[in-house]
Structure 1
Amino acid sequence: MRAVQVTIVGLGPRGLGILQHIAQRAHQLPEGVELNVHLVDPGDTGQGAHSNRQPDHLLTNTLASQLTMFPGGGGPSFTDWAQQVGYRRFAGGYYRTGEAGGEPIGPHDYLPRSLLGEYLSFASDHTLSSLPTSVRVVHHRARAIDIEELSPSGTYVVRTENGYEIPSDFLFLATGHSRRTPTDEDIRFENFVSEHQGRNDRLAYLADCYPVDKLGRIAPGATVAVQGFGLTAHDVIAHLTIGRGGRFEGDGHDMRYIPCGREPGILLFSRQCLPAAARGINQKGLAGAYQPHFLTLEAIRRLREHARRKRGSAQIDFEAEAVPLLRREMGYVYRSTLEQGHIRPTQYEFTAADQAAVDAIVDPLAGKSFRDLDAFRAFFTAFVTEDLEHAEEGNRTSPVKAATDAIRDIRASLREAVEFSGLTPDSHRVFNTRWVPLMNRISFGPPRRRNYELLALMNAGVVDLAGGPGCRIIPDPETARFTVETRFTDGPTVRYADALVAARLDLFHPETDSSPLTARLLARGLIRPYRNGSYEPGGVDITPSGRVIAKAGTPLTGVWAVGYPVEGPRYYTYYLPRDGQKSRFTDEANAAVCDMWQQLTILEEDDSRADRQRQSVSIP
């Protein structure tokens, strides 16, 4: 019996997806072969960033009923699992009480991420229990800090922080979210804090807000400026309010916030100072999805052929060539929903009225100026209120929510346009800096409740705006505080804050990642940053099947990367499978494991490799 060593580095959802696909093929192992699967992750299997130990006020931003780790069947969805193990909804959250008290969890619930962590561990246990005796799994509860290629055998050794060495024939990198090394701005802000904290003991700078426990550094009664309006900002707000003992009473526009007295004052700002639009009530069911008529896969292929003939390159200019189709798609959905009737795509006219409606969705600040912060605050609260009205209508009743929700449903077309250098380098940069944040803001926002909470917190005086569009953050040595300055038409407005929190997720750039593993992989030439010509969007360079491309430009034999580390050559890698829908999450795991299986078969047919000596795991 020969043992083949397979190592999965990182065991969040993506690593679990790899393990699931190995399990599905485990009964097809060549005769006389067994797999030793090494899971390298300090946390619980499957959970990754979704720890079951995180606070319950941190919510998923996708309906639990739409999330599953069993997209092909064979196991329950997130909602089904929560119901089966006895979770019920109470005013203060979700509790495991069986049938006693509360209300049953339904298809429109956004569940806590701590429950998602429990569900992911359940899926992991379910997968492990399905493995035949020919597959042995060892969980190394440590971080990988180095990987070395062993020549001339073509195998690898994975080294962990506690001294283990794991010889590996095949490797899967599923390391998940990353943290960057400090930027020049980070260093400037950190130096400001260290130099002036003696005059203001509340002075603090947090370049990263996870885990949210670190927000305990922000003193009660201090003023904190939170940079960002997206999902991460909602986590920060929730932890500084509900997490300190505050509570909400009532629902919808009747919601009130009851302070606990330990909150800081919270000032929100970003480059545009626009809130993330709330998710509309789902009227599409679990698997319903809009099918595009204009920005289709075939349309993207036609654009490529046109670009090849016109420019000698198949790369597309996203704004000039794809955005007109995207806008037309949104206009078509908007008009069809407004009239509540089917319009033949061939007969649809993208009228001036529909163009204006799309413009208002895409750029609500166009043509607007504000005399002062009070004027912008009035615009902001009216904007959030109107958006919530659209959200309450639902994603098949509200023309606005139908048009923006369609963007979620046509991600396959966006990937066809963008991935693996599908755009020109300049266009790729514009896509990442303008269109990705824009689409995230209008289509991938928080549950409605979060924006009702935002309004309630503003009414309670706990949350306010730090400024308006174009504001900037400036450390002020004179006051030993951070200032947020906005130039309105009547003159500048300045708000002061003791603490500054950057509420955003770091993009993965190998050369600025803080992980020792990434640094060693770069130094050994086993990975290289993905580049699209002169533009470096982030991520590790890979082949379409997920094989890692080394510094020399050659795909490594037996090494694949999936998930967030390949956000760059791929687009929108950070989501879980949806029940009843084709899933990129599943496709990528399947492609990588299929590739491994083919190499495993070739390996067994190669007599010279079959006789290699394999080492066991060394334990110091």
Structure 2
Amino acid sequence: MDHTQSFRVAVIGAGPRGLSVVDRLLSRRRAAGTPGPLTIELIDPFNPGPGHVWRTGQSRLFLMNTPALFPTVVPAGDTVRDLLPSPAGLSFNQWRELMSAGTRAAAGLPAGDRAELASLGPADFPSRALYGRYLEWTYGQLQETAAADGVELTHRRTEALGVTRAADGRLVVEVEGREVLAADAVVLAVGHLPALLSAEQARLQDAAERHGLTYLPPAVPADVDFSRLPAGEPVLIRGLGLNFFDVMAAVTLGRGGRFVPTGLPARRALRYEPSGREPKLVAASRRGTPYRAKARLESYIPHSIRLRWFTRETALAFRADGLLPGFDHDLWPLLHRDAVWAYYSTLARVAGTELRGEPSAFLGDLEAALYLPGPEWDAAKEAVLDRYVPADRRTNLEALAQPLGRRPFAGAQDLDDAVLAYLEEDAAGSAAGEDDPLKMAIGALNAGRTLLKSVVADGGLAEASWLAELRGWFEPLVEGLASGPPPERIEQLAALTRAGVVHFVGPDPRFDVDEARGVFTASSPWVGTEYAGRTLMEAMMPPNRVDRSVSPLLAGLIRDGLARPKVMMSADGTPVLTPGLDVTMPPYRTVGVSGEPVENLFVLGLQLSSVQWGTAIAAEAGSSAAEGSRTLQDADDIAAAVLAAASGVRREGAGRDDAGRAAVPVVSPQQVLGKPF
């Protein structure tokens, strides 16, 4: 490379994944010893670090669904193994400890951040605003490192509208204001993007316009104007996942309501005192119940959980034998064994007197059954359970997938009572932590999910199995069990249900419009009650599908042939358009319309959802790069490819300004894009 010319990298998206790319570029460049000039431009209309989702000005009521000890955006010290440590950053928990220690580093924090830090432990769930402050701090550290190492790191507060290939082979990023920027490499780290409404959602939005109703489409919670939810009136809400709990907090705590400790066990730990300004929330989801809460633990994965059957070695043995595994046939039976063992070994420890026989004999027989090969293990396991475990202490997959069962309810009160019982049982299980059999089974599934993400990535699972099995039934199951809210949110929801602030529609809900009355309606085939209201809210994020994205950046890449959605083949040979982009093996270059990789155009994050499972899960501090911190591994692979390209590129004719910095290569839009403005 001509060392008078800086190699220019455009990172589109300055949120957590964009930060990880910057960190890995700086780390690898420093390790190289004698690198050439490097310019990194972060392109994002939001602040670098927090980006869109983690904005520091959002309500402190919006919590993360992982404890403080979990996330990181950099391999800090020994928090992520197998990667060069970050030259600048810390994990979130390390940052929390630094800021909580009364050091000068915390002096500039706002009072709200300092107050939250004072009450936040490693197992507590921070606000998204505080996590955004950590990301903001990390960006500041990366700026200092870049300046010390002679790297030009800048942020352009603008939206990237497109990427094209110039005649000289460089990539050209079009941004707002009819400006274009030439770059040697581009990394797409764009995160959540707006998307088209589904046909049903569009119908409901159209009805809202005709009847003067309020319809709130899928959105990032911090973007929602919750003042539009009217006090004292029913608000129909579709979705009982993580976004629902943001809605719940915003219209209760956010409007002056109070949750008062009762001094009773977790089942009834809280009583709600209303402000009188709350709406009546009428909530629905496919299962009819919210996600289960996280257990109260001092670690992300319970200390008692150790995967014995679904290990990296057993899962990869299929590939070593030249076989492409299926999820149902090959991988799930291994993970299923671990979940069974986690449940019943915990049961034997905490409730051994309820078993029909000695706990040690039960566990010995169960272990022997679980080690049987092939399909024999399942029947042997059932025989052991029939012999030792009373029916009311058994659990099964169907019960977890359908917590309300497939039964009719006598009416709204009958359903609310059933959901309340579910909430109270879940709150008690979370409070029991390592002593709750179900939470430990979920802990095993969560540990398995982390490993599974690594095992099935990059073509490690048959496509038909990916579509029908992994994404078809397992993903909804494990999301509802292992991706739930902090435990206090379930305790709060139980209190709101007892107070009559929240009601439930029931399983398999249907949302419609009563044209005669001019209202939205919600009903369930399992309940004989129909709710009506003038406000309907979708408590969910926009779908992560590149074919439904309204982002001009993604649409332009696909239109111009620099990217395409990935297509998989179903079991009957039918091609299926998947949610993510078609990419190469790591470092994840886009695959163009011709089927060829696009040089120096990389993808990191949510748009990898068709080659990786669980792309929304953050990097886990303390895990290996191959598993819990796969996002950092991906960022590191991209950084290695970018710097390799930088070392092999030679160009001439680049100017420099009077201060000796590389001049920003801004060229004519008409010249580069070949279209008028």
TM-score by length of 1: 0.89
Shift, 1:380, TM fit? 1.2
Q: Which residue of 1 aligns with 2:534?
A: 498
Task: Please give the alpha-carbon distance, in whole angstroms, between the structure 2 residues aligned to 1:115 and 1:159.
Answer: 32
Query: In structure 2, do the counterparts of structure 1 residues 237 and 519 end up closer, same or farther at CA, with 3 Å as the change threshold?
Result: same
Shift, 1:508, TM fit? 2.3
Of 322, 333, 338, 1:324 maps to 333
1:455 matched to 2:494? The reply is yes
Of 432, 453, 478, 1:415 maps to 453
Task: Please give the alpha-carbon distance, in whole angstroms, between the structure 2 residues aligned to 1:454 and 1:367.
Answer: 23
1:194 matched to 2:205? The reply is no
1:138 matched to 2:154? The reply is yes
8 A contact 2:69–2:300 mirrored in 1 = no
Q: Which residue of 1 aligns with 2:244?
A: 233
Task: Please give the alpha-carbon distance, in whole angstroms, between the structure 2 residues aligned to 1:432 and 1:97.
Answer: 40
Task: Please give the alpha-carbon distance, in whole angstroms, between the structure 1 residues aligned to 2:76 and 2:126.
Answer: 22
1:618 matched to 2:666? The reply is yes
Task: Please give the alpha-carbon distance, in whole angstroms, between the structure 2 residues aligned to 1:192 and 1:97.
Answer: 41
8 A contact 2:17–2:73 mirrored in 1 = no
Query: In structure 2, do the counterparts of structure 1 residues 384 and 99 end up closer, same or farther at CA, with 3 Å as the change threshold?
Result: closer
Q: Which residue of 2 aligns with 1:311?
A: none
Q: Which residue of 2 aligns with 1:147?
A: 163
Query: In structure 2, do the counterparts of structure 1 residues 366 and 285 end up closer, same or farther at CA, with 3 Å as the change threshold?
Result: closer
Shift, 1:435, TM fit? 1.6
Shift, 1:103, TM fit? 5.4
Of 61, 66, 75, 1:62 maps to 66
Which one is further off, 40-49 or 74-83? 74-83
1:446-495 Cα distance to aligned partner (Å, 9 max, x none): 11100011011112221111x2112211111111111112223xx73211
1:544 matched to 2:556? The reply is no
Which one is further off, 31-40 or 120-129? 31-40
Task: Please give the alpha-carbon distance, in whole angstroms, between the structure 2 residues aligned to 1:193 and 1:590.
Answer: 47
8 A contact 1:244–1:262 mirrored in 2 = yes
Task: Please give the alpha-carbon distance, in whole angstroms, between the structure 2 residues aligned to 1:289 and 1:588.
Answer: 30
Identity %: 26
Of 57, 68, 82, 1:53 maps to 57
Task: Trace 1:391-402 onto structure 2 (pairs within 5 A).
Answer: 391-394=430-433, 396-402=434-440
Task: Please give the alpha-carbon distance, in whole angstroms, between the structure 1 residues aligned to 2:35 and 2:117.
Answer: 54
Task: Please give the alpha-carbon distance, in whole angstroms, between the structure 2 residues aligned to 1:584 and 1:288.
Answer: 22
| One-letter code aligned to 2:316 | R
Q: Which residue of 1 aligns with 2:633?
A: 587
Of 133, 146, 166, 2:181 maps to 166
1:521-555 Cα distance to aligned partner (Å, 9 max, x none): 11111111022222223111112212221121111
Task: Trace 1:202-351 onto structure 2 (pairs within 5 A).
Answer: 203-208=214-219, 210-250=221-261, 252=266, 253-284=268-299, 290-303=305-318, 314-340=323-349, 347-349=368-370, 351=381
| One-letter code aligned to 1:221 | G
Q: Which residue of 2 aligns with 1:532?
A: 568
8 A contact 1:338–1:398 mirrored in 2 = yes
Query: In structure 2, do the counterparts of structure 1 residues 213 and 7 end up closer, same or farther at CA, with 3 Å as the change threshold?
Result: same
Shift, 1:570, TM fit? 0.9
Task: Please give the alpha-carbon distance, in whole angstroms, between the structure 2 residues aligned to 1:616 and 1:388.
Answer: 56
Shift, 1:287, TM fit? 9.7
Task: Please give the alpha-carbon distance, in whole angstroms, between the structure 1 residues aligned to 2:547 and 2:225.
Answer: 26
Task: Trace 1:12-51 onto structure 2 (pairs within 5 A).
Answer: 12-28=15-31, 33-48=36-51, 49-51=53-55
Query: In structure 2, do the counterparts of structure 1 residues 556 and 259 end up closer, same or farther at CA, with 3 Å as the change threshold?
Result: same
8 A contact 1:86–1:97 mirrored in 2 = no
SS at match of 2:566: coil
Task: Please give the alpha-carbon distance, in whole angstroms, between the structure 2 residues aligned to 1:537 and 1:511.
Answer: 8
* Unmatched runs of 5 consecutive residues or more in structure 1: 89-93, 309-313, 604-608
8 A contact 2:36–2:647 mirrored in 1 = no
Shift, 1:21, TM fit? 0.4
Shift, 1:235, TM fit? 0.9
Of 537, 551, 554, 2:596 maps to 554
8 A contact 1:146–1:520 mirrored in 2 = yes
| One-letter code aligned to 2:56 | N
Query: In structure 2, do the counterparts of structure 1 residues 59 and 97 end up closer, same or farther at CA, with 3 Å as the change threshold?
Result: closer
8 A contact 2:208–2:214 mirrored in 1 = yes
**Corresponding pairs, count:** 595
SS at match of 1:167: strand
| One-letter code aligned to 1:541 | D
Q: Which residue of 2 aligns with 1:122?
A: 137
Task: Please give the alpha-carbon distance, in whole angstroms, between the structure 2 residues aligned to 1:478 and 1:239.
Answer: 32
Task: Please give the alpha-carbon distance, in whole angstroms, between the structure 2 residues aligned to 1:258 and 1:485.
Answer: 28
Query: In structure 2, do the counterparts of structure 1 residues 71 and 375 end up closer, same or farther at CA, with 3 Å as the change threshold?
Result: same
SS at match of 1:124: helix
1:1-22 Cα distance to aligned partner (Å, 9 max, x none): 2211111000100000000001
Q: Which residue of 1 aligns with 2:194?
A: 179
8 A contact 1:295–1:322 mirrored in 2 = yes
SS at match of 1:298: helix
8 A contact 2:96–2:117 mirrored in 1 = no
Of 474, 496, 511, 2:512 maps to 474
8 A contact 1:71–1:581 mirrored in 2 = no
Task: Please give the alpha-carbon distance, in whole angstroms, between the structure 1 residues aligned to 2:97 and 2:401.
Answer: 38
Which one is further off, 178-187 or 94-103? 94-103
Shift, 1:567, TM fit? 1.6
Which one is further off, 398-407 or 248-257? 248-257
Task: Please give the alpha-carbon distance, in whole angstroms, between the structure 2 residues aligned to 1:432 and 1:149.
Answer: 35
* Unmatched runs of 5 consecutive residues or more in structure 2: 78-85, 103-108, 350-358, 371-377, 570-574, 656-662, 669-677
1:10 matched to 2:49? The reply is no
Of 438, 461, 464, 2:477 maps to 438
1:348-398 Cα distance to aligned partner (Å, 9 max, x none): 54622389423333443445443333322222111111111111111x322
Shift, 1:429, TM fit? 2.5
**C-alpha RMSD over aligned residues:** 2.9
Task: Please give the alpha-carbon distance, in whole angstroms, between the structure 2 residues aligned to 1:475 and 1:578.
Answer: 44
8 A contact 1:33–1:134 mirrored in 2 = no
Which one is further off, 587-596 or 6-15? 587-596
| One-letter code aligned to 1:563 | G
8 A contact 1:86–1:98 mirrored in 2 = no
SS at match of 2:221: coil
Shift, 1:336, TM fit? 2.3
Shift, 1:406, TM fit? 1.6
Task: Please give the alpha-carbon distance, in whole angstroms, between the structure 2 residues aligned to 1:238 and 1:212.
Answer: 15
Shift, 1:135, TM fit? 0.7
Shift, 1:412, TM fit? 4.3
Query: In structure 2, do the counterparts of structure 1 residues 475 and 575 end up closer, same or farther at CA, with 3 Å as the change threshold?
Result: same
8 A contact 1:567–1:573 mirrored in 2 = yes
